[in-house]
A and B are shown apart, each in its own frame.
Chain A
């Protein structure tokens, strides 16, 4: 038989217990419901309606989703945005996280001077507003007055310069790298903290075993911070599929050139609020938002069931 949680709560009159629960749990439940659960449910509900030109709404079931995925007018930009989003995510996974891991590894080496300084400097961009980051990089990379062209020319690489943000072939990757530059401090800090947790004696044992710092990093430190790395990956995934602000501040809602930088966030924005000639369509927008929610949910489930279970945390 399970033990009663406490004699005090068991002997308490029901009404009083309910009052107590309400007092302690009520605020958190209320705030969470109001700002997280209600909007989610309301969005999902909205996605099953459609509105006619007069503004009256009628229930249409899953018709909006059929349109979104089946009607070429909707599905083409949707798949384009999803594909771009995957590229955006891939660049973060392949560039931001390895660099973050490497920086953390360098910072955790014994005898590095000015650790605090480097840490702060590399974390600084994370605290900047995305608008400022976007604007600054826009200026830096501008073919007209940017410093990038001049800087490359100064080291004899002037021929490499191109208006990266303006080319269809490179705009998305350039934007991804700007985001990488801004947020590389987050994986760095998380992994650095995990590296600090590894006991000194373990590293000493590896040194006695004849490993240099490089091998210690790959054979000892890296496997032991794998749980943190996978956490960082999940955070990256969620952040990337919810991204919107950088593209919007650099490229506007049209995500040019020719929608090559369009990701789900900007696609949703245009659908919901409308843009220029396109009229806002809240019910289709809600359908896009719902699909985004399920994409992220699917990603998280894959992670939880395929990755998380195989990763083991080590207690030292």
Chain B
């Protein structure tokens, strides 16, 4: 258990910059999830924390100790890989004790730790089996067990659930959450899956093109995305965006004007007349016949029924498509014109640089 501090971390391969000035501070016992589009540098960041890849610049502190020059095994970390990376020629017990042998843990202590981890992960029956005789979920648990017996200060997970089927993914997710509750260890977890990120994380780190876009609690990212990228990335289906501009300023209030929605007012703050804006509203916040500043009209093109909700794809006045969630049994029919409204906290306005403007 320890904190983790990353300062001005850079990674370059030749001319390409993979990580650009990453700063991140993770508290003791915190569960931090890294998300971002493919190729944004999540695995690279994780591997650099682990010491598997060297940095081009910057510092990494684990438990207040500078670890830049330390080998992976000396950093007090354990890593769980996407492919599990179990040693195919060793049984489960050997897989778990193998690393301990080389870090000078005495045999009795090794056995104790394996027994404890096996109990925690329900691996007792499987200790003598070889990885080839295990199911995907069991292999995943062994991989986690191999990390646990190292008793690391920081756990690193790189998309650990992506090779599992949907049902197993849910149950293993719950197991990982339980594990974190039990061990109270610091965890850095990379995933593609938003649900995993939202459910597991104390804080989520959204990355894009080697930079951190926003760090925050799951619901903060959802309700108050700092910029257009985070707004579009978090949430499924993605947030609808409408182009707009500042139509006029009057008495400290700016008029947000656009072609595809009814104009509304918001605090002017530092906005100037003519500034380009983007208005964002999540599909689930658009309701029929509610009250709120934001109002848009669309012709229903298609309705996707998922059961608990349906998604209506609507064509706007300017010809583009936006999505609204419809609850209940009554779904609009294609061709119908629908008027949708969003309440004021759910309307996000972003300036020309893509940064959020307080509404």
A156 close to B (CB within 8 Å)? no
Given contacts A207-B72, A208-B73, A209-B73, contact A314 B88 (CB under 8 A): yes
Of the candidate stretches B74-82, B111-119, B275-283, B322-330, the one touching chain A is B74-82
Contact residues in B for A206 (Cβ distance below 8 Å): 87, 99
Chain B residues 49-95 with CB under 8 Å of chain A are 50, 52, 71-74, 77-79, 81-83, 85-89
Closest residue of chain A to B104 (Cβ to Cβ) is A210
Contacting pair A224 B89 (CB below 8 A): yes
Is B13 at the interface (CB under 8 A from chain A)? no
B103 within 8 A of A: yes
Please tell me if A106 contacts chain B, counting CB pairs below 8 Å: no
A interface size (C-beta, 8 A) = 20
- Contact at A209–B99, with CB atoms within 8 Å? yes
Inter-chain contact total with CB atoms closer than 8 Å: 64
Distance to closest chain B CB from A62 (angstroms): 47
Segment among A25-33, A147-155, A196-204 that sits at the interface with chain B: A196-204
Cβ of B102 and Cβ of A209 under 8 Å apart? yes
B132 touches A315 (CB 8 A): yes
Grouping DSSP codes into helix (H, G, I), strand (E, B) and loop, the A interface class, with mixed when no group exceeds half, is: helix
Contact A208 B79, CB 8 Å, known A202-B85, A223-B89, A314-B88: yes
Give the residues from 122 to 153 in chain B that come closer than 8 angstroms, CB to CB, to chain A: 132, 146, 150
Given A208-B52, A210-B73, A224-B89, A201-B102 contact (CB < 8 Å): no
Q: Are B85 and A199 in contact (CB-based, < 8 A)?
A: yes
Flag if A205 contacts B85 (CB, 8 Å): yes
Let me know if A208 and B50 touch, CB within 8 A: yes
* Distance, CA A205 to CA B156, complexed state (A): 12
Q: A208-B72, A211-B102 are in contact. Are A201 and B83 (CB under 8 A)?
A: yes
Among A205, A215, A314, A315, point to the contact of B89 (Cβ < 8 A): A314
How far does the alpha carbon of A248 sit from the alpha carbon of B72 in the complex, in Å?
56
For the complex, what is the distance from the CA of A206 to the CA of B78, rounded to whole Å? 11
A208-B73 Cα distance, complex, nearest whole Å:
5
A220, CB-defined interface residue at 8 Å: yes
B313 to chain A, nearest CB (A): 40
In the complex, what's the smallest C-beta–C-beta distance from B67 to chain A, in angstroms?
Answer: 13
Chain B nearest Cβ from A199, distance in angstroms:
6
Contact between chains at A208 and B89 (CB < 8 Å): no
Interface string of A215-237 (1 = CB under 8 A from B): 10001100110000000000000
The listed residue (B77, B81, B103, B132) touching A205 by CB distance below 8 A is: B81
Q: Is A316 among interface residues, defined by CB-CB distance under 8 A?
A: yes
* Chain B residue contacts of A210, Cβ below 8 A: 71-74, 99, 102-103
B83 and chain A: residue at smallest CB distance:
A201
Question: CA–CA, A199 to B85, complex, Å?
Answer: 8
Q: A199 vs B87: C-alpha distance in the bound complex, in angstroms?
A: 11
| In the complex, residue of chain B having the shortest beta-carbon distance to the beta carbon of A207 | B72
B78 touches A208 (CB 8 A): yes
Known: A199-B83, A204-B50, A206-B87. 4 other contacts (CB 8 A): A202-B87, A205-B81, A207-B52, A209-B103
B-contacting residues of A (Cβ < 8 Å)?
A: 199, 201-202, 204-211, 215, 219-220, 223-224, 312, 314-316
19 contacts between A and B (CB under 8 A): A201-B81, A201-B82, A204-B52, A204-B85, A205-B81, A205-B86, A205-B87, A206-B99, A208-B78, A208-B79, A209-B73, A209-B103, A209-B146, A210-B74, A215-B102, A223-B89, A224-B88, A315-B132, A316-B88
